[in-house]
Chains A and B, each alone.
Chain A
Amino acid sequence: MTANRLTESLLALSQQEELVDLPKDYLLSESEDEGDGDGERKHQKLLEAISSLDGKNRRKLAERSEASLKVSEFNVSSEGSGEKLVLADLLEPVKTSSSLATVKKQLNRVKSKKTVELPLNKEEIERIHREVAFNKTSQVLSKWDPIVLKNRQAEQLVFPLEKEEPIIAPIEHVLSSWKARTPLEQEIFNLLRKNKQPVTDPLLTPVEKASLQAMSLEEAKVRRAELQRARALQSYYEAKARREKKIKSKKYHKVVKKGKAKKALKEFEQLRKVNPAAALEELEKIEKARMMERMSLKHQNSGKWAKSKAIMAKYDLEARQAMQEQLAKNKELTQKLKVASESEEEEGGAEVEELLVPDAVNEVQMNVDGPNPWMLRSCTSDTKEAATEEEDPEQLPEPVAHEVSESEGEERPVAEEDILLREFEERRSLRQRSELNQDAEPADSQETKDSSSQEVLSELRALSQKLKEDHQSRKQKASSEATVPQVQREEPAPEEEEPLLLQRPERVQMLEELEKEECFQNKELSRPVLEGHWSEKTPNNHPDAPKEKKKKEQMIDLQNLLTTQSLSVKSLAVPTIEMLEDEVERNQRQMIKEAFAGDDVIRDFLKEKREAVEASKPKDVDLTLPGWGEWGGVGLKPSAKKRRRFLIKAPEGPPRKDKNLPNVIINEKRNIHAAAHQVRVLPYPFTHHRQFERTIQTPIGSTWNTQRAFQKLTTPKVITKPGHIIKPIKAEDVGYRSSSRSDLSVIQRNPKRVTTRHKKQLKKNSVD
């Protein structure tokens, strides 16, 4: 079956091909194919046409639904569409042949390409699309960043954002009922109207406005065009440069280089004629370039290329030539150097010599050599000063070196510099001499001073010794008298104290010193305490009593604090003692108490304090299990090793606030109820509690602030107008014009799309 079908279709195709040869249409042939001259066929056609003219025999034009054997130009009908076939319709393909050409071109191009790349994966395509879209949108959105930041940091935001600008309306608009009534007014308005002057907006006439706008547009256009041109030119130039840079041909580059060199030479020649000074500079530049080349080892035989050529040179003539060329170049470079710096080299040699030879000799030589009168003078002055300068030989080589290095062109300034330098040296030497003299003098005075200071020192030492002795004796007395255990004196363990002192932060020391000094300065403080401290403090001034320093740290003596002999008031009015009966009674009680008042109060207090300190200390945890791992029972204790091992020592807490205050017990317990009111979570930007504390330290209540400050401190962060819709922020609200690039592109693209779609639609409509 299928084979039959195939053969049929093939047959049909062949028939069609045959038919192509036939003239397509008799109408067409009539009009166009005049030159065919196929008489027979025409005749046949004519016959057929005539035969078809009579009614019944008229051949039905079959609809062309499927490939059939009978396919002729007459089969083309417009029955299906229900329209009449127009000649113009058939002519259309002829017209559009130009579009076919482009198709052909494209086809050619496609053919010329060997393989078509595989289309990307769907995922990859999507990824790329996403990336591009993301970049675009992020770019569009990034312009909002500063505004967002500003709004976040703003103290206050007011919504809605768009502010209604106060429109300055002319009075006629505001007061619609207003009319020119008085004759004067009427006259004026008439005049204005006659001259077409603006009545409401007195600034610009409509014509002026229009002209202004037009002007601005034109200008803008011109400017834009200029800019465009400039940009285009720049881009052309850049592209060209890039292209040239990319060229890999060595020959080309060689040519370019040579051309450049020639050009430079030419320019130089010209410049020499026109402007010798500039030419000199140019020359220097050329020289420098040459030097650079010389330094670069480019034309030595050490390069890779040169080596390879050297190997090939035996056999290859070209290579040999290249080698020779290179050698010549090298020689040229080196030779040129010799020619250029003959004098320099000589001078360099002289320099080496001079450095070896003593300076005085050298100077004389220089005198002989140098024809420069300036130099002469300086040298003579040198000789004059020779005697003084011999003393400081270190400073001399410097100027000499300067003299040597000078070249012919720079002689004068250098000489001047020399003179200046020499003057400086002169002064320096003079100063030194005077200083030496002075040194000799003050040495004596210092000695005398020293001796006097020694005396003072010895006196002070003796004094301090005495004071110390006094102090010790007093202390002994105190210790013998005091029933209070030694808490305050730190004397017994000075070695233990010292490392502690070292560890302590210095600020604390300072504070305490300050406090103490305040205490000292306070005249009202009881004498004995003061004296005692003073006696301890005075030795501090001595360098030979550094140990005394720790005494500064000493705690305030409680005994002294309470048993001070304070000055009694010389009151003018001594109270008379006449009392009521219960008052008398109480007085008696007081008298008894007074009699028994004494050290027991202090002892009790110290005991209480010790207990409080003990209670507040963190406790060690003992985890030993008696009988675990060893024998247990009555009277058996776990070994010391075990106990040591299973004892968890509590960490040392911070030092107590009342550590150095013997007369105070400060409760270290935390006030939980108050802590409940405190902030316990740090808000976001803060990382340390002290930072946050600083922001909440100023009170904002009206009790502590002036009314205005209070209002300012408590302004709401956001203000909204009741009854107004808060719309999302727009570019116009923040002063952006909507013509920023991204927006523009969107706007521009959209209408295009719309138009293309629109066109398509139109076409469809027209086709249908």
Chain B
Amino acid sequence: VGEMETAPKPGRDVPPKKDKVQTKRKKPRRYWEEETVPTTAGTSPGPPRNKKNRELRLQGAKSTHILKKSRISKKPQVQKKSREWKNPESQRSLSGAQDPFPGPAPVPVEVVQKFCRIDKSRKLPQSKAKTRSRLEVAEAEEEETSIKAARSELLLAEEPGFLEGEDGEDTAKICQADIVEAVDIASAAKHFDLNLRQFGPYRLNYSRTGRHLAFGGRRGHVAALDWITKKLMCEINVMEAVRDIRFLHSEALLAVAQNRWLHIYDNQGIELHCIRRCDRVTRLEFLPFHFLLATASETGFLTYLDVSVGKIVAALNARAGRLDVMSQNPYNAVIHLGHSNGTVSLWSPAMKEPLAKILCHRGGVRAVAVDSTGTYMASSGLDHQLKIFDLRGTFQPLSTRTLPHGAGHLAFSQRGLLVAGMGDVVNIWAGQGKASPPSLEQPYLTHRLSGPVHGLQFCPFEDVLGVGHSGGITSMLVPGAAEPNFDGLESNPYRSRKQRQEWEVKALLEKVPAELICLDPRALAEVDVISLEQRKKEQIERLGYDPEAKAPFQPKPKQKSRSSTASLVKRKRKVMDEEHREKVRQSLEQQQQLQQKKEAKTKPTGAWPSALDRFVR
């Protein structure tokens, strides 16, 4: 029975993208499965096309069955969900043919694990039978849903592209022209340069679907276009310095941080709002799930503007002077601000103080970027260093690199590629595997532009990097930068106007309240322990006793002469002493266990057999 399920992320009602960066008739080979590639004639389609002594492997959606099969078979554990047939004859059909793969298809354990949310490492206290049954139900539900999700991974048909040098060949030496030459026409069309020398260095922003591009020049030039079809939506000059530009939740609205105030335009270039409470804005960030526009100003204020109702949710004084370094954490919608004293502070509209402050650099911070999983933060400072921090609780640097001139702009791609703009050069680093920080040893790609970089952003769902510089806009091809599969209901690049409107309504209905922004977005699934305890305390005070406490031992009255007060007291005493003894015994046991563990630990260090050991009997 074919399941007509939809994947959580993949496109639903849209045909798979054909216009991704692709090599012609090239079968992709994954770098992690080099050894699995069989050398049989069936899999290798002739000699690889050598060009200037290098091999280019860009994204290709079609992968051979043999490859896949070999990979699946290599997997160590395959969760078999198939039903165990007691007698094989029962499954025999009328024709006598047997199903070679009985039961549902196996699901790899790792994929299922990816969708599991219950943290089973935390031990639960002893629970009653009723509670246990509820817990079991919850766990079974989780497993079932994660298996379903893992099954529907199959529908994520597209695979990310990549660039691979031949042995000893540096991918960083591959220039854009070579890539463009190697890829198909549709992909090659995505590389372009806009020569806009008059209106100074440009900031740019892609819409969330990755279909539209807005850019604003320092000297007032603002334009928005459908960059794939190169259809211009609007082009105006605001006659004022433009500091930053950003799309709001859809491509229909555009926020422009101008010299004095914040302005909002629609896609026709008509000014809709002028928000005077946000003045002298330097940087803009839009939090799409909260409908919040975060603005950092020269006056040192971080202001959150709710664009769905047009209200300012919070205006926070960072108390750190001029703010001009800002980025958002897409995982938990926390705003990261970089300061001149080398710290990066993390902000939420619910708190007046920063959630955390990290001392990153000895000099001021020049740029900050957070990757899409919210795990890594890259920062560069005046000390010419580029650091990658772990954001999972410890905030410690994972890797550090000194750059010749320091990076002025940083950006992460959807798949974790890091780009740094240093002067007129753009460097891109890639990680070793999935969900690993970009290794700063070797750049993945480099590119020189016609002017110093002023704005950087990877285009979502396209292997494209947009660079705004003083000479205009450059759209670069970066294989493997973007997520190959998109969620058709969430951000569909091919959506029509009607679909967009429908999505808008749904998104507004699912708007997340601003006060829920905190470091751990899963905190909502936790019980408010403090107020729980507070309530309990109040209840105890009100009642005068603890209703859940274990009742103290009350000796039962016995026969006439035996329940004198003295004997009652004695019996009480006995029970109390027994309890106390039990406690002492337990603590002693714990201590002993600790000691034993210690001994066990020290033993391996002293494992060298001594000469006197032979006398030990």
Q: Which residues of A contact B (CB under 8 A)?
A: 153, 439, 443, 446-447, 449-450, 453, 457, 506, 515, 519, 522, 524-526, 540-543, 546, 556, 558, 561-569, 571-577, 579-580, 583, 590, 593-594, 597-598, 601-602, 604-605, 608, 657-658, 661, 663-667, 669-682, 685-699, 703-709, 712-713
Contacts and interface: CB of A to CB of B under 8 A. Distances in A.
A573 B448 contact: yes
B608 interface: yes
B558 interface: no
Given A447-B611, A568-B401, A593 B341 contact: no
Which 7 A-B pairs have CB atoms at the shortest separation, nearest pair first?
A575-B423, A673-B515, A524-B399, A689-B527, A597-B363, A678-B528, A566-B400
Interface string B519-531: 0001111111111
A571 B404 contact: yes
B135 A680 contact: no
Interface residues of B, number: 113
Contact of A561 (B145, B148, B397, B606): B397
Interface in B124-167: 124-125, 127-128, 130-131, 133-135, 137-139, 141-142, 144-145, 148-149, 151-152
Contacts, number: 291
Contacts of B122: 690
A229 to B, nearest CB: 43
A601 B359 CA distance: 9
B613 A674 contact: no
A597 B362 contact: yes
A748 B276 CA distance: 89
13 contacts: A450-B609, A568-B402, A573-B427, A574-B404, A602-B359, A661-B395, A672-B350, A673-B516, A677-B516, A685-B128, A688-B127, A704-B8, A706-B152
A588 B475 CA distance: 31
A594 B382 contact: yes
B357 A694 contact: no
A678 B527 contact: yes
B398 A675 contact: no
A568 B403 CA distance: 6
Contacts of A694: 118, 124, 135, 138-139
Given A571-B427, A667-B355, A564 B400 contact: yes
A449 B609 contact: yes
Given A571-B427, A605-B341, A695-B134, A667 B353 contact: yes
Contact of A569 (B200, B394, B397, B440): B440
B117 to A, nearest CB: 5
Given A571-B404, A670-B530, 15 more contacts: A450-B610, A515-B394, A519-B396, A558-B359, A562-B362, A567-B401, A569-B443, A575-B422, A590-B363, A598-B362, A685-B134, A691-B135, A699-B117, A704-B8, A706-B152
Given A447-B611, A667-B354, A691-B131, A579 B452 contact: yes
B145 A705 contact: yes
Interface of B: 3, 5-8, 117-119, 122, 124-125, 127-128, 130-131, 133-135, 137-139, 141-142, 144-145, 148-149, 151-152, 170, 172-173, 200-201, 340-343, 348, 350-351, 353-364, 382-383, 385, 393-405, 422-425, 427, 439-441, 443, 446-448, 452, 470, 490, 510, 513, 515-518, 522-532, 535, 594, 597, 602, 605-606, 608-611, 613-614
Given A571-B443, A667-B356, A709-B144, A661 B382 contact: no
Given A576-B424, A686-B131, A522 B398 contact: yes
- Residue from A447, A457, A574 having most chain B Cβ neighbours under 10 A: A574
B156 to A, nearest CB: 12
B397 A708 contact: no
B603 to A, nearest CB: 9
Contact of B148 (A562, A666, A689, A706): A706
Nearest to A666: B356
Contacts of A540: 605
Contacts of A519: 396
A587 to B, nearest CB: 10
B350 A674 contact: yes
B172 A572 contact: yes
B535 A687 contact: no
A538 to B, nearest CB: 12
Contacts of A661: 394-396
Contacts of A703: 8, 490, 510
Contact of A602 (B362, B523, B613): B362
A604 B357 CA distance: 13
- Residue from B122, B342, B359 having most chain A Cβ neighbours under 10 A: B359
A569 B441 CA distance: 8
A687 B524 CA distance: 19
Contact of A590 (B149, B382, B393): B382
Contacts of B135: 691, 694-695
A664 B531 contact: no
A533 to B, nearest CB: 13
Nearest to A690: B124
Contact of A698 (B117, B343, B529): B117
B423 A663 contact: no
A681 B532 contact: yes
B525 A696 contact: yes
B527 A679 contact: yes
A565 B348 CA distance: 34
Contact of A576 (B127, B423, B513): B423
Contacts of A506: 594, 597
A568 B362 contact: no
Contact of B532 (A525, A558, A670, A689): A689
A574 B425 CA distance: 7
Given A572-B446, A593-B364, A691-B127, A524 B403 contact: no
A604 B517 CA distance: 28
Contacts of B427: 569, 571, 573
Contacts of B527: 678-680, 682, 689, 692-693
B128 A687 contact: yes
A572 B510 CA distance: 47
B351 to A, nearest CB: 6
B404 A575 contact: yes
A573 B6 contact: no
A577 B423 contact: yes
A691 B382 contact: no
Contacts of A568: 401-404
- Residue from A576, A590, A598, A671 having most chain B Cβ neighbours under 10 A: A671
A658 B394 CA distance: 8
A569 B401 contact: yes
Contacts of A687: 125, 127-128, 131
Given A671-B351, A697-B525, A573 B446 contact: yes
Contacts of B594: 506
Contacts of B6: 706-707
Contacts of A695: 134-135, 137-138
Given A562-B359, A685-B130, A703-B490, A677 B513 contact: yes
Contacts of B354: 667
A6 B152 CA distance: 112
A690 to B, nearest CB: 6
- Residue from B145, B452, B531 having most chain A Cβ neighbours under 10 A: B145
B445 to A, nearest CB: 10
A678 B5 contact: no
Contacts of B439: 524
A579 B423 CA distance: 9
B424 A575 contact: yes
A383 to B, nearest CB: 32
A678 B383 contact: no
- Residue from A681, A689, A709 having most chain B Cβ neighbours under 10 A: A709
Contact of A525 (B398, B443, B448): B398
B399 A525 contact: yes
B425 A573 contact: yes
A685 B119 CA distance: 20
Contacts of A594: 363, 382-383
